[in-house]
């Protein structure tokens, strides 16, 4: 028997210059669904996230509020952890890069490995800097003198920094991506990364002057006049959270792991597909095995975000619709890897017609008929077409997870639920009960209970509380309870 090595799974760590919004919720629930699915398959997995504290935008946000950066990142960072908990996202670890004692030593150790490889050197740089991206942009990446993602004017920055020799690793990175050793999903993001490389990889600055960084961040080893660049710092969280360089978790989940997966947004692909592999290659460390890149949530076609002024409040949605309804809408009705517009009226419709109307109603009427008629549920001689569809649905769900298409998985599950409702309508078990045709009634209801049990198992990564409730209602014998999704108050 083949022994499966562990999976290390991370979601990206966000800036904490403001409270979290619905875009952060999307990545959290996607990552959590993947983690839960892999564990249900019996895989050993370590799932982490955290907050990116050491950025210039955090410094400026704190200054605007009249507080210190440490106060800002502590307050807002706690909000990101609370959001994960509110969404029933279960991490194995969650790191705050400014306050966690593991982080600075790991960043400094990684920096020194790159120095030892001869890949760090000092140079003077002048360029256009986007504080929103925390990145120097080429002219081709700007429009009307502004970043195409963030609306603020670009800053002209000229200073002496430490640079990383990324150009040295252009071919190894190209080969890793082209050969699939560094998988990038979906394919359009792989092609985007390859286009970056085709344009030529240039060395990039990995430090900022202490004065421009306002002394916030991790000092460059051996040079107190410079602060480690936020992306070098932030990417290192994937190692520091494991106790790099000497921690047992690092040995187990990075060096010895079979899979190292990063879940991230499309706007930070460059840093994960190019910079991070270059740094790891320089340090002599294994690369990630998969980058799974999701799209953005938009509102009226415009990306939601703090800088855009159209951020959507996930707390209000959870309070109004419940955790699993919000998880369902984010995972089922927003395309996993493409941009999708969020509309609360469609969330409300999905709650009523799909969750309450299809899933909740099916469970209620099956349990009511079983309980009312004293039917004993059997596991043999079930409806063949329904059982076959359940079998195919399990395989469609597995394929959707492999392809990072979580919306396809939920579509398949709800097609199974729809088929079960059709079977109930065509078999009319309430009529069978009136006719006292108990053999046919047992066959019909047992087939529907089997389908609901499969549904609960398949829904568990997506709607964990709902799946547990369905399973509890059905075992050992179906029993009636309160509606899974009660009627919503008027909008």
- The residues that are catalytic are 21, 24, 130, 133, 147, 150, 303, 306
Do the Cβ atoms of 258 and 246 come closer than 8 Å?
Answer: no
Q: Which long-range CB contacts under 8 A does 303-308 form with residues at least 24 apart?
A: 303/23, 303/149, 303/339, 304/21, 304/22, 304/23, 304/342, 305/21, 305/23, 306/17, 306/18, 306/21, 307/132, 307/150, 307/151, 307/152, 308/151
| Distance between CA atoms of residues 239 and 41, nearest Å | 26
| Distance between CA atoms of residues 214 and 208, nearest Å | 10
| Distance between CA atoms of residues 381 and 374, nearest Å | 19
| Distance between CA atoms of residues 227 and 54, nearest Å | 10
Please give the angle made by the CA atoms of 371, 377 and 380, to the nearest 5 degrees.
165
Give the residue from 331, 320, 372 showing the smallest Cα distance to 486: 320
Work out the burial of residue 487: count CB atoms within 10 Å of its CB; fewer than 13 is exposed, 13-18 middle, 19 or more buried.
exposed
Tokens standing for 232?
């070098």
Do the Cβ atoms of 157 and 212 come closer than 8 Å?
Answer: yes
């Amino acid at each position: 028997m083949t022994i499966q090595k562990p999976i290390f799974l991370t979601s990206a760590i966000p800036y904490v210059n403001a409270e979290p919004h619905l875009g952060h919720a999307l990545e959290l629930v996607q990552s959590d669904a993947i983690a839960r699915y892999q564990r249900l398959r019996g895989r050993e997995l370590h799932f982490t996230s955290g907050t990116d504290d050491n950025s210039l935008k955090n410094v400026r946000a704190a200054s605007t509020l009249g507080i210190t950066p440490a106060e800002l990142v502590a307050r807002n960072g706690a909000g990101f952890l609370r959001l994960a908990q509110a969404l029933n996202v279960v991490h194995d670890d969650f790191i705050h890069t400014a306050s966690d004692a593991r982080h600075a030593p790991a960043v400094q150790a990684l920096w020194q490995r790159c120095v030892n490889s001869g890949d760090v050197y000092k140079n003077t740089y002048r360029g256009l800097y986007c504080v929103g991206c925390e990145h120097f942009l080429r002219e081709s990446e700007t429009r009307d003198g502004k970043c195409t993602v963030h609306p603020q004017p670009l800053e002209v920055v000229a200073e002496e920094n430490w640079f990383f020799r990324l150009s040295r690793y252009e071919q190894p990175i190209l080969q890793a991506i082209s050969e699939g050793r560094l998988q990038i999903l979906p394919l359009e993001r792989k092609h985007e990364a390859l286009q970056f490389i085709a344009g030529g990889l240039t060395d990039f600055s990995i430090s900022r002057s202490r004065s421009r960084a306002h002394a916030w961040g991790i000092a460059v080893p051996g040079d107190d006049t410079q602060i480690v660049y936020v992306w070098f710092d932030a990417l290192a969280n994937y190692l520091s959270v494991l106790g790099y360089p000497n921690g047992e978790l690092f040995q187990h989940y990075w060096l010895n792991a079979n899979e190292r997966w990063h879940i991230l947004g499309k706007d930070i692909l460059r840093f994960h597909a190019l910079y991070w592999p270059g740094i790891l290659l320089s340090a002599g460390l294994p690369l990630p095995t998969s980058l799974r890149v999701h799209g953005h949530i938009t509102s009226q076609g415009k990306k939601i975000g703090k800088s855009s002024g159209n951020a959507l409040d996930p707390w209000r949605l959870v309070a109004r619709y419940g955790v699993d309804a919000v998880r369902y809408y984010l995972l089922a009705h927003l395309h996993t890897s493409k941009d999708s517009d969020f509309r609360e009226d469609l969330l409300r419709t999905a709650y009523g017609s799909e969750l309450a109307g299809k899933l909740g109603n099916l469970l209620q009427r099956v349990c009511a008929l079983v309980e009312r008629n004293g039917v004993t549920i059997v596991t043999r001689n079930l409806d063949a077409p329904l059982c076959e569809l359940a079998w195919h649905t399990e395989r469609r769900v597995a394929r959707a997870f492999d392809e990072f298409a979580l919306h396809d998985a939920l579509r398949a599950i709800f097609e199974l639920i729809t088929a079960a409702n059709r079977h109930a309508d065509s078999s009319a078990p309430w009529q069978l009960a009136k006719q006292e045709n108990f053999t046919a009634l047992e066959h019909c209801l047992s087939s529907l209970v089997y389908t609901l049990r499969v549904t609960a198992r398949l829904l568990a990564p997506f709607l964990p509380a709902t799946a547990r409730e369905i399973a509890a209602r059905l075992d050992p014998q179906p029993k009636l309870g309160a509606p899974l999704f009660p009627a919503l108050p008027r909008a």
